[in-house]
Structure 1
Amino acid sequence: MRYNHILSKSTDTITLISINRPNKLNALNIETIEELHHALKKANNDKKTKVIIITGSGEKAFVAGADISEFADFDEDEGKNLAANGQELLFDFIENLPTPVIAAINGFALGGGLELAMACHFRVASDNAKMGLPEVSLGVIPGYGGTQRLPQLIGKGRAMELILTAGMIDANQALSYGLVNHVTTQDELLPFCEKIASKITRNSPVAISAAIKAINANFEDGIDGFEVEIEEFGNCFGTEDFAEGTSAFLEKRKADFSGE
């Protein structure tokens, strides 16, 4: 697939995906969401890729929101379909992807941009980053999971204030809220994310996938996360990675995981 709005580059065990619409501050439109889905699916299916990093092109924005011009004339049903399709194709897809996805927030992450970052497994921000969900200032609410994931990450009260005021917070406040894990300079952002990614790549891909599934289960209605943990824990015992990891530990050597 030829991409018009994103760049995807794989080096060794890491795939870097950049939203590349600088003249629109990397705003998400339907085509960009489809391209991201395709690139993420391709990276996930590539056995060499152990970690995916998502960032924005340029120095101003990660993703400054959704492309409002695309849906300004939508009716109720079209709005519902826009949210449902976007959540299924990209936001829920990322959250449940078995390959870890890191958001490298290199500037504005507003509206759909913050929702994209929150769907990733964790977030690192540059010190110039600004984050918020300003949708109520446009007469709408976050539709790509923002009303659900933001309270999970920072608590109900803080999420209510941020959404209802349509305000923005800077990187350090986001760090204090637990919305991002780390803050770096802009120059250090990608190298820092790659350093974390390299630590992840030393571990068992099978176990990492199982851990993501078990952690996510805690936030799913009607699902007992403890039961999922027990099931995934047991499943690990039947993998080649478990045999290799335990053997390497007992033999005092570095494990060479196959991902099987």
Structure 2
Amino acid sequence: MVGNVKKIERPNGIVELRLNRPMKYNAINYNMMDDLKRHLTELKGSVTLNALIITGEGEKAFCSGGDVELFHKLTTKEEAYAMLSKMGGILYELMLFPVPTIALINGTTLGGGCEIATACDVRIAKQGSSIGFIQGNLGLTTGWGGASMLLEKIAYHDAMAILLSSKKYNTDEAVELGFIDKVIPFNADFHEKGYEEIEKMLVNKGNVLKAYKQVSIRKWKSSDLYSRMMLEIEQCADLWTQDEHIKAVEAFLNRR
């Protein structure tokens, strides 16, 4: 039985993990967290793996973030922190994954979906995708360590512009801000086209790819990225039970 994350073996030592809740715009729930963690743990020890792709099932969404309806049931700071820190820990593992990671953004990428994409080394998007750290519109900050990771990946002023505005951006704007590395024109078979582009950008020498990734991993470990992410997550948990967040989520759910 296919779970909430599909594993697809590609040629040349590349594996694709596909978030698999297309009817929910690939929103993250607890089962998807568990599946993602299990796959990352299993793949981390592979000697033949050269690169990892994270993408979404279907044509509409990479990931719309956390499942708002499900997580709205978390009513205390402790409950919120347990969920947020669980996913934050998974994204820290993705940040420090031993081979290059590529977010293949196949559509809507919002909130926590942007945090997942940020944890990857490279971000390739389908033309027309909507991208945004929109958590502020729900009275929250990034909840899975996304701000700490974003500040490691792009220029400070661009990262802060993205975070402080809580705006949605189109792919051209996201390229200008440094968040998206490459845009692929709309293609009926986007996942296949995306894989072809990824294959072109990677040298066919697994040891070289892993060695370069270790340079970044050493930096992030020495700067105690994990602790910074967890402090950020605690700040989000503090905001979780405040009226501003509760009312914003209720308005969002009622509008839907």
Give the direction of change, closer, same or farther, for the CA distance of 1:158–1:11 in structure 2 (3 Å limit).
Answer: closer
Q: Where do 5+ consecutive residues of structure 1 fail to align?
A: 224-260
Counterparts in 2 of 1:38-117, with a 5 A limit?
38-74=38-74, 75-88=76-89, 90-117=90-117
Give the direction of change, closer, same or farther, for the CA distance of 1:216–1:46 in structure 2 (3 Å limit).
Answer: closer
Give the direction of change, closer, same or farther, for the CA distance of 1:154–1:201 in structure 2 (3 Å limit).
Answer: closer
Aligned-pair RMSD on alpha carbons?
2.1
CA–CA separation in structure 2 for the residues paired with 1:129 and 1:149: 21
| TM superposition shift of 1:189 | 4.2
What TM-score, normalized by structure 2, do the two folds share? 0.78
What TM-score, normalized by structure 1, do the two folds share? 0.77
Aligned counterpart for 2:204 among listed residues 202, 205, 214: 202
Describe the superposition over 1:73-114 as per-residue Cα deviations: whole angstroms up to 9, x where unpaired: 3211122222222111x2011111112211100111111111
Give the direction of change, closer, same or farther, for the CA distance of 1:207–1:201 in structure 2 (3 Å limit).
Answer: closer
CA contact (8 A) 1:128 1:186 kept: yes
Q: Does the residue aligned with 1:98 lie in a helix, a strand or coil?
A: coil
Q: Which has the larger radius of gyration?
A: 1
- Count residues with an aligned counterpart: 220
CA contact (8 A) 1:106 1:189 kept: yes
| TM superposition shift of 1:201 | 5.5
Percent pairwise identity = 26
CA contact (8 A) 1:10 1:49 kept: no
CA contact (8 A) 1:18 1:56 kept: yes
Q: Does the residue aligned with 1:141 lie in a helix, a strand or coil?
A: coil
Aligned to 1:256: none
Per mean C-alpha deviation after superposition, the further-off stretch among 17-26 and 37-46 is 37-46
CA contact (8 A) 1:111 1:132 kept: yes
Is 1:7 matched with 2:6?
Answer: yes
Q: Where do 5+ consecutive residues of structure 2 fail to align?
A: 225-256
Aligned to 2:216: 215
Q: Which has the higher contact order (CA 8 A, sep 6+)?
A: 2
What is the one-letter code of the residue matched to 2:7? Answer: S
